[in-house]
Chains A and B, each alone.
Chain A
Amino acid sequence: MNKSRWHLKPLAAAFAFAGLIGMSLSQQAVASIDTGDDSLELSGFIENATYFRDSVGLTKFRNTLQLEGTKILGSLGAFDEFSINGTFRATYDGVYDLNSNEFGDDAGGSILLESLVDFGAGNLVPNGGGIPLGTITPAGLVNDGLIVLGEHLHDADGGVTFAVPVRPCDKDSRGCLGGYMDDDLDDLRYSDFNDRWDFIRELYINATIDMDSGTTFNLQIGKKQEVWGRTDLFRVLDILNPVDYSRQNIYDELEDIRIPLWMATAEWQFGANDILDDMNVQFVWIFDKFRPNKLGQSGTPYQILDAGSLFRGLSNCWDNGCTVSNFAGGNVTTNFGPGVLGIRDVHLPDWSLDNGQFGVKFEGVYSDIGFSLNAFYTRSQLPSLRGAGGPGGFATDNPFTGGGLAGLPPEDAFGPEPQIFPYIIAFDIHFPRVVLVGGSLDYYADPLKTAFRAEVAWTKGEEFANTLKPRLFSESEVVRWVIGADHNFFIRGINKNKAFLASFQTFGQHILDHDRENGPLGEVGIPDRENNYISTLLLKGWWFQDRVSPQIIQAYDWGANAYVISPSVDWLISDSWRLQVAANLKFGDGARKFSDCRACNPFSPFTATPLHDNAVQLPSPPFPDPTFAADAGDIGLGGFEPLGRFQSGPIGMAQKEDEIQVTLRYRF
């Protein structure tokens, strides 16, 4: 699709339209547009969100126009009620123009990479300046528009790092992953205008049949969000739509970051029966082409787990080769040619009926308990990096022997080139099939004056990084749960009329087939913890007829020792104007370390050590003394990158992203 068609004219028209609306409205509170048609409801808002980050400057200057509409067509054909609902959003984020040195065409620069061993170039070597274990392409040698992976959060500290291109993909195509992380400048600035038509937040028909039996049948078809579950913030059951973490990591309202999908929902609302006060059954068929979560791209302000940078750096490594700090021998910065390390490809499922997603929900109220039972046949919305090194993998080059991928002779004494090497740090990205079964409930406990909410889900098919496996991943069943409690309490001294809300939640994740052990140099296996918990606490008050509402939301990742606190004040200036001022501050350990598999010995004997299993010293000559042959496998040499991010979690990985945030909205 010709993207330029979307990017300028529609936005100019949209904001001009917004301006016209703004001018045409009186200052008297106007709650929606008077269409003169009782069956047509239109409303919307214009918003500016401006965020500043410590040491970085502007991170967001997002301007939004959103329009919502419903056309009620009444009784139509077999349907008693029929309506068309739409929500349209246009955003322009000026950060890529106003702070282009950090995010945009001028981002990044030349980099230096740490080398613990000075091999003649000092302890900081430029991109391309490592000891040669391959030939980096000319594009890969361009030392501009780069950052060092993780540099905003940590030093290399003896670990591996490499170059990450950070400019938009139309400016610098290095490391861009086609169809997954390949946004050009306009894609970033106008994120709603893409080839999936995300400016349509929702557009669906809603049709209802009231049956003689008292059952109501509801059918919705179109592009929409469908929300399951009862808890806030955590997505245990609320997973029908993927989410866009590139808007503000994990901190935006889910309403704004769910990625709408084309789907059909059919629901039978049976109402009360002899046992249940309410009962309904819903079927969901998502026929849209699969969409994963949007994790954020390198060179953009918000990336969950800094994944966009990691992936782009790895992709660049595969495509162009790269310089990796402290790699050879665990301490020498090393140049690798293309086709050895990195991310080779992304396998996004094609559209087909077989690739559809299906869900079913049974929901009801029994006595005083609201409950649901849910099942969803879907795909992992998070990427799985399946390593090359095993059955089902793919061939890579051996940089010690030359290889076909690097344009060198295809064979030598160590076998054909390329070939499959176990534990090689080379990946394809997949989105595996996942089955979820779960449920939720809520209950009000009068003696405690507290409402409780809970969700639980079991999944099968999810995949995790695992350095104990030749392909560096393994599948595991996972149980996730959230329990939440809402309690209202008065502090009469400061607010006579309005209770404060305290909302506490704890999220837990248990990886059933967790795999971790101690290697000679450190822990190896799955970096995610077998059991991990995150707790949140929201304290919220309201004054002046709910027009001023301060709140403090806090979250603590128990395993990562990562804490975030976000105080904010929401001021409803009038029915039309709203100002929100917030801060987002993180504390804790920040970056954490885990095995990085640089010592996984994929190329024995060149990478073998006496610490690897079945190590045998090879005769000298012909081999240099000492040279070992040994089994491939991880011995636990590690650092911050790349797997430490799973130890740090999303809060810890954003440790250095403290922000002040101001949002002004005008509703019409």
Chain B
Amino acid sequence: MKKFTKGLLGAALLSFAASASAVTDADIDNSFKPYTKGFPTVEGVVAGLVINKSNVDTYASVLDDGMIKHIKDGWVELTVGEPMDFVLNQGYIDATKAGAKNHKLGAKVGELEGYTAGRPFPIEPSLDDPRAGEKMAWNFQYGYNWGDGAAISPFYWKYKNMNTGKIERTIKFNFYFLNFAHRVNDAPLPEFEKNPGKLFRAIYLNVAEPFDVKNTQLLIHRSQNDLKRDNAWLYLGFQRRVRRLATGQVTDSFLGSDLMIEDFEGYNGRISDMNWTYKGTRTMLLPMYDSSKQERTSEFNESDGYTYTTYHGKGGCFPNVTYSLRKVYVVESDPVDPNHPIGKRVHFMDAQTFTLPRTVTYDRQGKYWKSWMIGQAHPDSHHPVNKGTGVSVDDAFGMMDVQSLHCTTGQFKGLVDPSLVKKKQFSVQYMRSFGK
């Protein structure tokens, strides 16, 4: 009888958690504009503050454990910058207002019902909600990350030895993102008319340099049905062939970097591949900044004068950017697949943008494995084409393997420009024709 009661209670909770919530416009405004009444404050954490190993304990409340360790170990010093309001694109907000009342979780993790576009769950998460983490994950998955489509072109990755700072490899990529569905800003809305595979999103990238991996291309198709496995293809320039990619390779070191394909953008996988747990809301320092006020480099000689983020700290692995106080949702994800290489990730989601500027990864033994930062530039401070786009622009990343003391850094030239993204680029045949 006790078991039966528990079961009923659990079912009721699940039902409650999965049901469409009574989302109000005020909830939505609060979700997208949490700083209308001012930015969060923590005593002493003001612009210009440099947090180093001498004072890190004082500011431990605004840092994650991994970052505290890095600072204590003398790997990096963080400089606090001015807070900024990252209001996302109005089309995305409007789509949220139009549809949020209809969104609800399905019975299984990875099922989302009634969704068309916008932020799926623009509500404050509750620790009492067993599926709150999953809802936050959906907010990231269907976030306005790169808008309806964007390019990172070029995108420089450097493989570095953390002990020596030696750059072992430099790879020049071009990344492209396109939403096939849930579009909110660029026609056609909300979905491409011819989308028989019911794709949600596609990612296409190619390698421009160096020569040994030149013309390597990757194409990922993600279905609207989260329970359906991604399709991925790899084109190898030296073979001139498109190869169907086995799933194992998305949790594999990508082209020898410290990232796996699943790490792209903080998390690049299915919701249903993970168990999601909301762990609470915090005020934390995240690498979100005014890019015009950062130290930039013109090392890649862009003809339009664009400059890239610099790096500092141990091995030159940390983006040399300022951190600002943000409202953060802490969400843990642990893989469903027992053979997955990681034990869990702890995501520090920016509550306003639902980007993932900071993620800490643990291995299957529970040991700290990877330290993952994605610097977010305010679009109005970034490349002219990004002004007014309402996209929190991924601007620089540092992925550190703290066990092997190796890192990969990424310097973005992110362009939220629909003209740079053509639907044809996201087809298998395009890989063949691009690769010659």
Say yes or no: A277 contacts B210, CB within 8 Å.
Answer: no
Contact between chains at A442 and B244 (CB < 8 Å) = yes
A497 touches B167 (CB 8 A): no
Chain A residues lying within 8 Å of B196, measured Cβ to Cβ, are 272-277
- Known interface pairs A225-B240, A269-B424. Does A444 touch B229 (Cβ–Cβ under 8 Å)? yes
Mark out the residues of chain A between 431 and 463 whose CB falls within 8 Å of any chain B CB in the assembled complex: 442-444, 446, 449-453
CB B362 to nearest CB in A, in angstroms, measures 13
* B78 lies within 8 A of chain A by Cβ: no
For A492, the chain B residues whose CB sits under 8 A away are 341
Contact B428 A545 (CB under 8 A): no
Which residues of chain B from 373 to 421 have a CB within 8 Å of any chain A CB? 401, 404, 406
- Tell me how far the C-beta of B367 lies from the nearest C-beta in chain A, rounded to whole angstroms: 11
CA distance in complex: A44, B212 (Å): 10
**A216 at interface by CB-CB < 8 Å:** yes
Secondary structure at the B interface, as helix, strand, loop or mixed, is: mixed
Using Cβ atoms and an 8 Å threshold, which residues of chain B touch A487?
246, 248
Check A376 for interface membership: any CB of B closer than 8 A: no
The distance from the CB of A244 to the nearest CB of chain B, in whole angstroms, is 16
Contact A542 B427 (CB under 8 A): no
State whether A278 and B428 are in contact (beta carbons under 8 Å apart), knowing that A545-B257, A547-B168 are contacts in the complex: yes
CB proximity to A under 8 Å, residues B261-317: 303
A267, B433: Cβ atoms under 8 Å? yes
B231-A444 in contact (CB<8A): yes
How far, in whole Å, are A280 and B427 apart by their CA atoms in the complex? 10
The verdict on A616 contacting chain B, using a C-beta distance below 8 Å, is: no
The verdict on A141 contacting chain B, using a C-beta distance below 8 Å, is no
Render A347-368 as a binary contact track against B, CB cut-off 8 A, 1 for contact: 0000000000000000101011
Find out whether the CB atom of B253 lies under 8 angstroms from the CB atom of A667: no
One of A45, A267, A368, A546 near B253 (C-beta < 8 A): A546
A257-287 interface bits toward B, Cβ cutoff 8 Å, 1 = contact, 0 = none: 0000000000101011111111010000000
Residues of A within 8 A of B199 (CB): 277
A496 at the interface (CB under 8 A from B): yes
For the side of the interface on A, what is the size category? 35 or more
CA distance A365 to B239 in the complex (A): 21
Query: In the docked arrangement, what's the CA distance between A408 and B200, Å?
Result: 84
How far is B247's CA from A488's CA once the two chains are assembled, in angstroms?
A: 8
Question: Out of A214, A255, A489, A578, which one reaches B423, CB within 8 Å?
Answer: A214
Question: B242-260: which residues lie under 8 A (CB-CB) from chain A?
Answer: 242-249, 251-253, 255-258
Q: For residue A34, which residue of chain B has the nearest CB? A: B301
A contact residues around B245 at 8 Å (CB): 444, 451
Q: How far is the CA of A79 from the CA of B243 in the complex (A)?
A: 30
Interface-located stretch among A3-11, A109-117, A226-234: A226-234
Separation in Å of the A507 CB from the closest CB of chain B? 16
The interface residues of chain A lying within 8 Å CB-to-CB of B243 are: 230, 442, 451, 453, 486
> Which residues of chain A are within 8 angstroms of B29 by Cβ–Cβ distance?
none
Q: When the two chains form their complex, are residues A542 and B256 in contact, meaning their CB atoms are under 8 A apart? A: yes
For residue A71, CB closer than 8 A to chain B, the reply is: no
> 1/0 contact trace for B176-212 toward A, CB 8 Å?
0000000000000000101111010000000011111
Q: Which of B15-30 contact A (CB under 8 A)?
A: none
**Cβ B211 vs Cβ A488 within 8 A:** no
Which of B195, B245, B249 has the most A CB atoms < 10 Å from its CB?
A: B249
B169 lies within 8 A of chain A by Cβ: yes
Is A43 at the interface (CB under 8 A from chain B)? Answer: yes
- CB–CB B238/A253 < 8 A: yes
> Does A85 lie at the interface of the complex (its beta carbon under 8 Å from any beta carbon of B)?
yes
Q: Is the CB of A443 within 8 A of B244?
A: yes
| A561 on the B face (CB < 8 A) | no
Q: Report the separation of the CA atoms of residues A452 and B427 in the bound assembly, to the nearest whole angstrom.
A: 19
Q: Do the beta carbons of B169 and A449 come within 8 Å of each other?
A: no
A490 in complex: contacting residue of B221, B241, B339, B422, CB < 8 Å: B339
Say yes or no: is B174 at the interface (Cβ < 8 Å to chain A). no
**B207 CB to nearest chain A CB (Å):** 10
Q: How far is the CA of A29 from the CA of B194 in the complex (A)?
A: 44
A548 (CB) vs chain B CBs: closest residue? B256
- Output the residue of B167, B303, B404, B432 with the most chain A CB within 10 A: B432
10 CB contacts below 8 A, A to B, read: A218-B433, A255-B238, A255-B239, A272-B195, A277-B221, A486-B246, A497-B404, A547-B169, A547-B256, A576-B210
Given contacts A253-B238, A271-B423, A490-B339, 17 further A-B pairs with CB under 8 A are: A29-B169, A31-B209, A32-B209, A32-B211, A43-B214, A45-B211, A227-B241, A271-B424, A272-B192, A272-B427, A273-B196, A367-B197, A446-B247, A489-B248, A498-B256, A572-B212, A667-B211
Residue ranges of A at the interface with B (Cβ–Cβ < 8 Å): 29, 31-32, 38, 43-45, 85, 202, 206, 210, 214, 216, 218, 224-225, 227, 229-230, 232, 253-255, 267, 269, 271-278, 280, 363, 365, 367-368, 370, 442-444, 446, 449-453, 486-490, 492, 496-499, 542, 544-547, 572, 574-576, 578, 667-668
Interface residues of B (CB under 8 A from A): 159, 167-170, 172, 192, 194-197, 199, 208-212, 214, 221, 229, 231, 233, 238-249, 251-253, 255-258, 303, 339, 341, 363, 401, 404, 406, 422-424, 427-430, 432-433, 436
